[in-house]
Amino acid sequence: MTDLNGRIALVSGASRGLGRAVARELAAAGAHVVTTGRSRRGSATQTAVDDLTLDRTVEMISEAGGSAEAVTCDHTDPDAVRALVDDLLARHGRIDVLVNNAWGGHDFHEGVDGEEVWDEPMEQFRAMLLAGAYSDFVTDLTVLKHAMGPAGRGIILTTTWHTPEPPAWVPYESSKAAKNRLVYALGHHLREKGIPCIAVAPGWMRTELMEVHHEPGELDGRTETPHYAARAVVALAADPDAMRFTGRTMDVAVLAREYGFTDLDGTQPDLNAGRFVE
């Protein structure tokens, strides 16, 4: 049984999808979860699905008997992140687990399918880097400097994308690669501090938005729920020997075999299975 009782976990981008699942699974394991995003109730950044808000995530955790709170924060703003960390330290005294899940910079899909790669909007890559790797960088360094570094403890986990398949959408693939290399670099620099920094790479997930934009038959048997990757995050957060994975990008299926967790239906989807709709 994974036990995170008494831990303080900070999860960015927790209003929907994987971030919401991570927050729920961490709370189910006993952690007090601080969920963050750019908005709370009534102004979700994605309007295709109702209830994609931080407050709803916290309500779901509370209904299940867990402990959580919602805090508005733009993780691309260093001052906002510093204020968030100062507030959490003042109220909780520490941050034990940081999960970088905030992501954005595009609508559901803005690729240039059927067009040349050079027709990709120039601003697209910058927007994804800002919402992804830069957001992680700002949050990692702020939490390390003011919380985990002085305390000499904690774990940093980043949700990402990793696949041996040929690159698809260039801005997306490149910005996700930047997140992975940030984890690799921080893992190297933090090794002597004993603070693990690990990237967690899920397969093709049945998030709320995927269910809106695809027919049910397209998703059956080809995908995993966000809770599969969320359970990987919890397993790493609770592992006293997680340093063995520091600096690495770990596929969820590999971690499932390592720790023995399953998806909600009791299965362990295979490595890289069903990542794309044909």
Q: How many domains are there within the chain? A: 1
CATH number at residue 67: 3.40.50.720
Full domain range(s) for residue 173 = 8-259
Whether residue 111 lies inside any domain: the answer is yes
277 occurs within a structural domain: no
The secondary structure element, H or E, covering residue 32 is strand 32-37
Residues with Cβ within 8 Å of 174's Cβ and at least 6 positions away in sequence, in order, are 125, 128
Distances in Å between the Cα of 184 and the Cα atoms of 130, 181, 264 are 19, 5, 30
CA atoms within 13 A on the CB side of 116: 2
* Beta-sheet strand order (sheet of 249-251): 67-72, 32-37, 8-12, 97-100, 155-159, 197-201, 249-251
Question: How many residues in total does the chain contain?
Answer: 278
What pLDDT does 275 receive? Answer: 40
Give the model's pLDDT for residue 50.
Answer: 55
pLDDT, tens digit, for every residue of 96-118? 999 999 987 655 455 555 578 88
- What pLDDT, on a 0 to 100 scale, did the predictor assign at position 115? 75
Q: Looking only at Cα atoms, what is the longest distance across the chain?
A: 52
Q: Is residue 181 part of a domain?
A: yes
Residue 265 within any structural domain of the chain: no
> Residue 57: what pLDDT?
97
pTM over 0.85, yes/no: yes
Domain annotation covers residue 229: yes
Whole-angstrom distance, CA of residue 127 vs CA of residue 3: 37
Low-confidence ranges of the chain (pLDDT < 70): 1, 42-50, 105-114, 164-166, 205-222, 271-278
Residue 2 lies in a domain: no
> Comparing C-alpha atoms, which of 83, 84, 178, 184 is closest to residue 127?
178
Joined tokens for residue 151: 């305390």
Give 245-259 as a DSSP string: GTT-EEEHHHHHHHH
pLDDT at res. 215:
57
- Domain assignment present for residue 270? The answer is no
Rounded distance between C-alpha atoms, residue 90 and residue 93, angstroms:
6
